[in-house]
């Protein structure tokens, strides 16, 4: 019962904050709502016992992409005064389409006979992923690391070339 409550809380946080991202007219509010969306998704990954995905979600999206987005927003002059709007948006037809899709999805969900599945193994995945990277997938792992190293050296070379 506690897991259902925690799942519902994370799902609600994710859905509400994603709706704020989509419908907010202030880009700063959208960026901060995106933060809560990413945290909610990471929480859902934790509930699914996908600790590696949760850590990756936090490190890459929250730690990298969102911080980059917030720096871009904060360093742009007077961006907090800009309000996003779309005068050509037709709320009535859009709401009708959304309602029809929702009715279709709910009817499909209720008419489908869902098979029961066994509970999956909820052991931590990080150790298994690390072991697979160093045994079965060592060549693709090393190739990916060389590609990333080449991209990093190329970015430094390009940045130094522009500075003089």
What's the rounded Cα separation, in Å, for the pair 60 and 9? 23
Per the listing, tokens 């809560």 go with 36
Supply the DSSP symbol for 63: I
Most confident range (mean pLDDT) of 7-11, 34-38, 67-71 is: 7-11
State yes or no: pLDDT of 8 exceeds 80: yes
Residue 106, token pair as written in the block: 């709910």
pLDDT digits (tens, 9 = 90+) for 103-125: 999 999 999 998 887 776 767 77
What is the per-residue burial (b if ≥16 Cβ within 10 Å, else e) of 42-56?
bbbbbeeebbebbeb
149-154 average pLDDT score:
90
What's the rounded Cα separation, in Å, for the pair 20 and 31? 10
Does the global pTM surpass 0.85? no
Question: Residues 24, 80: contact at Cβ < 8 Å?
Answer: no
pLDDT digits (tens, 9 = 90+) for 60-74: 888 888 878 877 777
State yes or no: pLDDT of 80 exceeds 70: no
State yes or no: pLDDT of 156 exceeds 60: yes
Per the listing, tokens 């992409």 go with 65
Question: Residues 27, 73: contact at Cβ < 8 Å?
Answer: yes
pLDDT higher at 41 or 64? 41
**pLDDT at position 11:** 97
**pLDDT at position 109:** 93
What's the rounded Cα separation, in Å, for the pair 145 and 17? 35
74-78 average pLDDT score:
70
């Amino acid at each position: 019962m506690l897991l259902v409550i925690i799942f519902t809380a994370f799902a609600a946080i994710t859905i509400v904050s994603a709706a704020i991202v989509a419908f907010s007219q202030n880009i700063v509010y959208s960026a901060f709502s995106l933060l809560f969306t990413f945290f909610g998704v990471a929480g859902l990954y934790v509930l699914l016992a996908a600790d590696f995905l949760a850590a990756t979600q936090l490190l890459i999206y929250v730690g990298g992409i969102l911080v980059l987005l917030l720096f871009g927003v904060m360093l742009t002059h007077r961006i907090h005064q800009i309000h996003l709007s779309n005068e050509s948006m037709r709320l009535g037809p859009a709401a009708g389409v959304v309602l029809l899709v929702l009715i279709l999805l709910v009817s499909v969900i209720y008419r489908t006979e869902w098979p029961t599945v066994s509970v999956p193994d909820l052991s931590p995945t990080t150790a298994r992923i690390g072991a697979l990277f160093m045994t079965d997938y060592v060549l693709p792992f090393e190739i990916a690391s060389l590609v990333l190293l080449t991209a990093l050296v190329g970015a430094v070379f390009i940045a130094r070339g522009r500075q003089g």
